[in-house]
A and B are shown apart, each in its own frame.
Chain A
């Protein structure tokens, strides 16, 4: 029997449990740098961590950006509010690529390290959330994905990473990256834990217009569809591991089919255009006097004052602000921004029609987990290329899950499963079935009872 949230909440914790939990976590954090804040006041409930771009009342929330250092939101994100009221206890804020800008989790000061081997990256941008989930025995993390920020680190850290249909979980309290793409999701050590939390946090919110009360279905599919363009060019070790996974799934009775989707490889440039266009507007508000980082010389003309403040963005944030501003400027807007939105519609239509027949399945990442120095040597464009598989479902707002399916050289490998809008529950059923025959491994079990 797996001991999940239900069992944890039903059982008595031994005296001093939380004190020891925090002590052990702080020790692990010294090494792995997952948390920016650890809540020493935690005394009860199922521990949950929160990605640092999600507001927790009276706790510094910075989206791992210097620009937001000192920002203490006076309100809770809706997800946090819901968990607080349902027997969960806030354990800390997890580090991330600055504002979510990154695939590998290295775009922040003292970025997290992979709990399986500290020489490796965690993946990003929900880097600390994935690492924390791989470290803590009884815990879930509230993460967020714009273009793959839940799936990627979940794969590299060997945890279950669930990204819901766009709009099913309120974004109120989320520090925006790209509003039409941002989705709050869950990282956990099992599909059933992820499901437990999802059922608790989904549903419409009077503070978020885009959050919907749509019925969520559990329609199983007998067919697994492989989109050939998505797995073209993946690392050989990943390819053969994926074959092994597909073999197992074939034995479980799934039919496997290969397809191609016109222009699916254009999802990446189109996604980056839309996300950067929106991000460049979201980041305009950081001007150094109402929250976060402060410039003190008010006698400077506002343009110089703002420019001084905005010098504190990291390199990737600056790149995205400039490119995002460019692609929405009036002379080229229809060529980039509007065209990318049309491509999004086209891909949503073609993916939805395929997804009626079956799940789309693939490795989560086209590469094995890179080492930190390898990651830091990549050019931005090389890094964007690694999102080739995670971007399509994210761009289309489709629910997807990454689950551990293999270990190569001791490092976990993830498989990604995608289904139709609002058929989120079917993902948990699928992964739950996978877990019956596949044991997840962890190096850390901090807080084990």
Chain B
């Protein structure tokens, strides 16, 4: 099986690619102007931040970057395309021939191109409805080579790509739109416009099954364009054949060719490779580390910082604790303090973390407790409430009740209390 993707992601700009309209229009057709409606007489003017974001992404994907980048017109007819041509890139794109490293293999990136989004279109029985607020929003289209060979590859690639985009400053909360090129036999089938990652995996599964069945029954797989129906969990053949359209690309004569100043494009941290390095250097579990840092640049920074002054185990525990209490924005100084408390065997509760976040002294006697204190508290309850102890094996509520009693007093991690309590009860058994 060979899968290639065309991933579309919206770039983090306030205004559209070629006009000053907001990218966050609310009511339909309110963030519009002559340019994004394609009115006769209007002209495009390139948004500098869209170009720089696009170059950042291209570099993060290890692409070759040309000295200059320029745009083309791609002509096709559809109601959502205001000029009946899309301003996009091909040769002369912001980047080409890059890759995404999955550790065990590489997925090659053919091209990263900057282009304008068409309008949003809603299909109705007797007409269509169009919202041009979306028309002209800057997109990066990331085109891979057909190097994805399994569903695991697909999942891993998408997760890795999202992480890279996140670190390159691209808002990944907006849904990704993906065109999926998938071939089990000789012919390539393109599944257009799959939105979101769950749908992507479902569409891939359906196509694999569909094409496998065809092959098994000795039938040919037609080269065609299909679309994914998320309600039916299936793909259906689109009526338009590929050969019906002739894009007839020409140079976009309303724009210039833009120097990329490629030596000044900032580098993007690749979180997974940073995690790999830290894992082998400090002996931390790679999966745990990745989970913490793939979509959290503060976590990565704190871990890198913390490992210089504390033990790996403490650092990881501290990060997990901070994430639980929405504390990942902590200052480096606060984090150092936190690590030193924890290295001294102190347990930190919610109030303690709040104090650290606000750069106050936590008042150790009030908000941080030593492990000894917790142990004493548990021992007291276990010895005074024999009724609960007798019951705990048959009734999990009894166990939780004890945990709750300790928690009420000390507000430290319930997981920690549970572990300690289990230890005590083991002795009793």
A and B touch in the complex (CB under 8 A): yes
Residue of B nearest to A207 (CB): B43
Contact A174 B41 (CB under 8 A): yes
State which of A20-28, A218-226, A279-287 sits at the interface with chain B: A279-287
Question: Could you say which of A179, A209, A285 contacts B40, with CB atoms under 8 Å apart?
Answer: A285
B334 at the A interface (CB under 8 A): no
The segment out of B60-68, B197-205, B249-257 that lies at the interface is B249-257
Closest to B40 in A: A175
Which residues from A are CB-within-8-Å of B112? none
Which residue from A208, A290, A329 sits with its C-beta under 8 Å from B248? A329
Residue in A180, A210, A281 whose CB lies within 8 Å of B85: A281
A77 at the interface (CB under 8 A from B): yes
Contact of B43 among A171, A280, A291, A306 (CB under 8 A): A171
The CA-CA distance from A176 to B250 in the complex, in Å, is 15
Is B256 in contact with A207, judged by CB distance below 8 angstroms?
A: no
A210: nearest chain-B partner, CB-CB: B254
- Interface status of B25 (Cβ within 8 A of chain A): no
Which has the most chain A C-beta neighbours within 10 Å: B40, B82, B85, B127? B40
Q: Is the CB of B41 within 8 A of A77?
A: yes
Interface set, chain A 335-371, CB cutoff 8 A to B:
337
Partner of B127, one of A284, A290, A298, A333: A298
Contact (A278, B250) CB under 8 Å given A73-B34, A209-B256, A284-B85: yes
Residues of A within 8 Å of B126, CB to CB, are 298-299
B128 CB within 8 Å of chain A:
yes
Known A284-B77, A284-B84; contact A61-B40, beta-carbon cutoff 8 A: yes
The reply to whether B45 and A63 contact each other, CB–CB distance below 8 Å, is no
User: Does B404 count as interface, using CB distance less than 8 angstroms?
Assistant: no
Chain A hits for B146, CB < 8 A:
none
A302 near B128: Cβ-Cβ < 8 Å: yes
Which residues of B are found within 8 Å of A71, using beta-carbon distances?
40
- Is A55 located at the chain interface by the 8 A CB criterion? yes
Complexed CA–CA distance, A174 and B43 (Å)? 9
Task: Report the nearest A residue to B125, measured CB to CB.
Answer: A299
A285/B248 in contact, CB under 8 A: no
| Residue A75, interface by CB 8 Å | yes
Question: Are B253 and A290 in contact, with the CB atoms below 8 A?
Answer: no
Identity of the chain A residue whose Cβ is nearest the Cβ of B121 in the assembled complex: A302
Task: Give bound CA distance, A288 to B79, whole Å.
Answer: 10
Our count of residue pairs bridging A and B at CB distance below 8 angstroms stands at 106
A176 and B40 form a contact (CB under 8 A): yes
Looking at the assembled complex, report how far the CB atom of B238 sits from the nearest CB atom of chain A, in whole angstroms.
13
Mark interface residues in B95-134 (1 if CB within 8 Å of A CB, else 0).
Answer: 0000000000000000000000000000000111000000
Chain B neighbourhood of A303, CB < 8 A: 77
Nearest chain A CB to B84 CB, angstrom units: 3
**Chain B residue nearest in CB terms to A62:** B40
Report the minimal beta-carbon distance from A22 to chain B, rounded to whole angstroms.
Answer: 26
In this complex, what residue of A is CB-closest to B255?
A: A209
A305 nearest in chain B by CB position: B79
Interface pair A55/B41, CB less than 8 Å apart = yes
CA distance in complex: A73, B38 (Å): 12
Contacting residues, chain B, for A68 (C-beta < 8 A): 40
Are B250 and A328 interface neighbours, CB within 8 A? yes
CB distance from A158 to the nearest CB of B (A): 30
Closest-by-CB residue of B relative to A301 is B239
Task: Report how far A180 CA is from B34 CA in the complex, Å.
Answer: 20
Task: Let me know if B50 is at the binding interface, CB within 8 A.
Answer: no
> In the complex, what residues of A have CB within 8 A of residue B253's CB?
178-180, 210, 278
Residue of A nearest to B78 (CB): A302
Select one of A74, A207, A329 contacting B45, CB under 8 A: A207
Instruction: Indicate whether A325 reaches chain B with its CB closer than 8 angstroms.
Output: yes
Mark each residue of chain A from 144 to 178: 1 if its CB lies under 8 Å from any CB of chain B, else 0: 00000000000000000000000000011111101
Residue in A73, A206, A329, A330 whose beta carbon sits within 8 Å of that of B39 in the complex: A73
Chief secondary structure at chain B's binding surface: loop
CA distance A330 to B250 in the complex (A): 10
How many Å lie between the Cα of A180 and that of B82 in the bound state? 21
Instruction: Tell me if B162 counts as interface (CB < 8 A to partner A).
Output: no
On whether A277 and B246 interact (CB within 8 A), knowing A176-B40, A302-B128, the answer reads no
* Most chain A CB neighbours (cut-off 10 Å) among B43, B44, B83, B85: B43
Q: How far is the CA of A218 from the CA of B127 in the complex (A)?
A: 58
Q: Report the bound CA distance from A176 to B83 in whole Å.
A: 12
Q: Which residues in B have their C-beta under 8 angstroms from that of A171? A: 43
Count contacts on B: residues with CB < 8 A to the other chain.
Answer: 32
- How far does the alpha carbon of A290 sit from the alpha carbon of B37 in the complex, in Å? 8
Q: CB-CB < 8 A to A290: which residues of B? A: 37-39, 82
B31 to chain A minimum Cβ distance, whole angstroms, is 16
A298 partner residues in chain B, CB cutoff 8 A: 126-128
Chain B residue nearest in CB terms to A181 = B253
Residues in B whose Cβ lies below 8 Å from that of A74: 34
> Hey, which chain A residues are within 8 Å of B41, CB to CB?
54-55, 61, 73, 75, 77, 172-175
Is the CB of B46 closer than 8 A to any CB of chain A?
Answer: yes
Q: Of A75, A277, A306, which is within 8 A of B34 by CB? A: A75
> By the criterion CB–CB under 8 Å, are A302 and B79 in contact?
yes
Residues of A397-416 contacting chain B, CB below 8 A: none
Q: Are B43 and A73 in contact (CB under 8 A)?
A: no
Q: Are A330 and B248 in touch, CB under 8 angstroms?
A: yes
Which of A68, A176, A278, A284 has most chain B Cβ within 10 Å?
Answer: A284
On chain A, the residues within 8 Å of B246 by CB distance are 325, 329-330
Interface 0/1 of B49-81, CB less than 8 Å to A: 000000000000000000000000101011100
B254 touching A209 by the CB < 8 A rule?
Answer: yes
Q: Is the CB–CB distance between B250 and A281 below 8 Å?
A: yes
For A76, give the chain B residue with the smallest CB separation.
Answer: B41
Report yes or no: B79 in contact with A63, Cβ–Cβ below 8 A. no
Give the chain B neighbours of A330 by CB distance below 8 A: 246-249
A residues 173-192 in Cβ contact with B at 8 Å: 173-176, 178-180
Contacts of A63 in B (CB 8 A): 40
A171 to B253, CA, bound (A): 12
Bound form: Cα–Cα A290–B29 in Å = 12
Looking at B46, B83, B248, the one whose CB has the most chain A CB atoms below 10 A away is B248
B75–A208 touching, CB < 8 Å: no
B76 to chain A, nearest CB (A): 8
**Contact, CB under 8 Å: A287 / B255:** no
A328 B249 Cβ-Cβ under 8 A? yes
Could you say which residues of chain A place their CB within 8 Å of the CB of B42?
Answer: 172
A-B pairs with beta carbons under 8 Å apart, 17 shown: A171-B43, A178-B253, A179-B253, A179-B254, A206-B45, A208-B254, A210-B255, A278-B253, A281-B73, A281-B248, A284-B84, A285-B83, A285-B84, A298-B126, A298-B127, A328-B250, A329-B248
Shortest 6 CB-CB contacts between residues of A and residues of B: A284-B84, A298-B127, A180-B253, A179-B253, A55-B41, A328-B248
Residues of B in contact with A (beta carbons under 8 Å apart)? 34, 37-46, 73, 75, 77-79, 82-85, 126-128, 246-250, 253-256
Starting from the known contacts A73-B40, A209-B46, A285-B82, 17 additional A-B residue pairs (CB-CB under 8 Å) come to A71-B40, A176-B254, A209-B43, A209-B256, A210-B253, A210-B254, A210-B255, A284-B85, A285-B40, A285-B84, A287-B77, A290-B37, A291-B39, A298-B126, A298-B128, A302-B79, A328-B249
